[in-house]
Amino acid sequence: MNLTLKIWRQEGPEAKGKMVTYKVSDISKDMSFLEMLDVLNEDLATKGERTVEFDHDCREGICGQCSLVINGQAHGHESHYTTCQTHMRSYKDGDVIFIEPFRAKSFPVIRDLKVDRSSMDKIIQAGGYISSFTGMAPEANSIPIHHEVAESAFDSAACIGCGACVATCKNSSAALFLSAKISHLAKLPQGKVERMERVVWMVNAHDDEGFGSCTNTGACAMVCPQEVDLLDITRMNYEYNRALATVRS
């Protein structure tokens, strides 16, 4: 399979970027999208040219590092897939593929397709933890948790923090990511200690990092690889308003 790739190239955060055209040939349909980019980089390295920088790690849809906008869609056109889970069988011989980094004020470009997503780490640092006594692990049966509650918490905790929700949102909001992290802990008894403070701290950190507001279009949930539920945003709004009402009273 022969393809034409139009890839965003940018030397650094302050440099002016542009789309550059590359040709790749003999691409197997069984390759993942990232393996196809590896083939391109091997060819560029052989020619003595600078390779294309992009984020990746596990290549199993777990870590959320492989964040690319492919033909205008975060992670590509496959529903609820990460970039590394996308395979070249999804494309046809002769296709032209546009590849860009995630675009958001809070995700400044480091180089080429690699962006700085430390703003999401700062949200977690603001309140994504629980207080716990040190020492021996508590007896598992000492804190009974209903099966449905546990499953719901697991669903929220599934968020891998890839940032696709931010790249897709017209306001560059991280509300789906933020709400998943808040809801995960708010649903469990272990998260009750900082419940009031956590939601305020994390929402404030979200706004301080330059993420936009949520207008409930639902585009974020459409591209989320882990299918995080929009109901988590509702839960976050409830937790936030509850915390403010408690402080005021």
Residue ranges of domains in the chain, CATH in brackets: 3-111 (3.10.20.30), 118-248 (1.10.1060.10)
The pLDDT assigned to 248 comes to 67
The pLDDT assigned to 96 comes to 98
Q: How far apart are the first and last CA of the chain?
A: 66
- The residue behind tokens 């209903």 is 146
Instruction: Provide CB contacts within 8 A for 33, sequence distance 6+.
Output: 68, 70, 76, 83, 84, 86, 87, 88
Q: Cα–Cα distance between 156 and 234 in angstroms, integer?
A: 13
The pLDDT assigned to 241 comes to 95
The pLDDT assigned to 215 comes to 95
Q: What are phi and psi of 8, to 5 degrees?
A: -75, 120
The pLDDT assigned to 134 comes to 73
Contact between 163 and 121 under an 8 Å Cβ cutoff? The reply is no
From first to last of the 249 residues of the chain, give the pLDDT tens digit.
999 999 999 999 999 999 999 999 999 999 999 999 999 999 999 999 999 999 999 999 999 999 999 999 999 998 899 999 999 999 999 999 999 999 999 999 999 999 999 999 999 999 999 887 777 777 777 788 899 999 999 999 999 999 999 999 999 999 999 999 999 999 999 898 899 999 999 999 999 999 999 999 999 999 999 999 999 999 999 999 999 998 765
Instruction: Provide CB contacts within 8 A for 207, sequence distance 6+.
Output: none
CA distances 209 to 205, 214, 237, Å, are: 6, 15, 19
Contact between 204 and 55 under an 8 Å Cβ cutoff? The reply is no
Q: Cα–Cα distance between 103 and 170 in angstroms, integer?
A: 10
Contact between 205 and 121 under an 8 Å Cβ cutoff? The reply is no
Q: How many CB atoms lie within 10 A of CB 72?
A: 9
Strand partners of residue 20: 7
